[in-house]
Structure 1
Amino acid sequence: MKKVFLGGTCNGSEWRDFFIKMLTIDYFNPVVENWTEECIQEEIKQREECDYCLYVITPKMIGVYSIAEVVDDSNKRPEKTIFCLLTYEKDRTTFTNEQWKSLNQVGKMVEKNGGKYFTELYEVAKYLNSKSKYITQFEDYM
C-alpha cells in the first residue's frame, strides 16, 4: 500500500486530524508529544521510505524548516513531493499578503521542479487516493 509522510505546520494546527480522515492510503504522522533524537531519526527514515512527502503550510507556521524540506525534496525527489499552502486555519488565522505571495512562489518553485502544488487539502487527498489501489467512494465522503 502507498504511504505519505505528513510534514509541515505543527504548532497546534489541526490540518492533520482533518486530512487523515480523507485518506485511503497509509500515512506517517511525525507529530509526537516529546520530540527526541529517536523521533528525528524516524522522521528522516520515513521521509526516505514513504511514496510521497506532503508538506502542508498554514498560518500557524512559526518555523521555516518545512519550507527548506519541501524545496530540497522537490529538487531531489520531485515525483514524490507535494506542497499544500492553506489560506487560513480553523480559527481563521491568516497569512499577511506578503507572506502569502512569498509562500505561493515557493509552491510555484516546487511545481517548476516537478513536484505537485495545491491550495486545498481536499485536492491533495483526491490526488493521493487516486494513487492507492484501495480507492473508495471518496467523493461520497465529502
Structure 2
Amino acid sequence: MKVFLGGTCNGSKWRDELIEMLEIDYFNPVVDDWTPDCQAEEEKQRKQCDFCLYVLTPKMKGVYSIAEVVDDSNKRPEKTILCVLEEDEKSKFDEHQIKSMDQVIKMVKENGGKAVKSLKSIATYVNTKEKIK
C-alpha cells in the first residue's frame, strides 16, 4: 500500500507529522528544484498510489492542489482523500476561505471521495482501511 502526499507546501510541516504516523509507503512530491521530470513522476504516482491524499492548510499560496483533489475525486474517487486543516502553525483560514473549503469538501464527497479534518484520521484509515469518521 502507498499514499500520495499532495497538498500544501510552503513550509507546512503536515507531511512530517503524518509520515511519523504512517505504517505504509508514501510518495512525497516535494522537491527543492521542480522540473518537468518531477511533474511527470508526480502524475505517475497519483495514478499508481493506492491513496491520493491532499492536505490543504492556510499556508497554501496557489490553488492547484484544489484542482488536483477535485480532479482525482472525479477520476479516482475510491482512493481520493481530502483533509482541510483550518490552522497551520500561526496561519488560519478566514471565514470566507473556510466557506470555500467547505464547498470543496462537499464537492469531493459528492464525487465519491473521502474528506476529514485530522491527520490522525488519515493515518488510521490508510494504515488499517478503517472507515473514516
What band does the TM-score fall into relative to the shorter chain? over 0.9
Which of residues 91, 94, 119 is equivalent to 2:92? 94
Which residue number in structure 2 is paired with residue 117 of structure 1? Answer: 115
Larger radius of gyration: 1
Question: Counterparts of 1:1-142 in structure 2 under 5 Å?
Answer: 2-90=1-89, 92-131=90-129
Q: Which runs of 5+ in 2 are unaligned?
A: none
Whole-Å separation in 2 of the counterparts to 1:25 and 1:107: 25
TM-score, length basis structure 1: 0.89
Q: Return the offset for 1:104.
A: 1.3
Give percent identity, aligned residues only: 64
TM-score, length basis structure 2: 0.95
**Aligned-CA RMSD value:** 1.1
Give the SS at the match of 1:21: helix
**Runs of 4+ residues deviating >2 angstroms:** none
Q: Return the offset for 1:108.
A: 1.3
Whole-Å separation in 2 of the counterparts to 1:126 and 1:100: 25
Q: Which runs of 5+ in 1 are unaligned?
A: 133-142
Over residues 22-65 of structure 1, what are the superposed CA-to-partner deviations in whole Å (9 max), with x where a residue is unaligned? 00111000000111111111001100100110000000011000
Whole-Å separation in 1 of the counterparts to 2:129 and 2:101: 26
Q: Return the offset for 1:81.
A: 0.4
Q: Return the offset for 1:126.
A: 0.7
Whole-Å separation in 1 of the counterparts to 2:122 and 2:114: 9
Over residues 74-94 of structure 1, what are the superposed CA-to-partner deviations in whole Å (9 max), with x where a residue is unaligned? 01110010000001012x210
Give the SS at the match of 2:91: coil
Q: Return the offset for 1:131.
A: 2.9
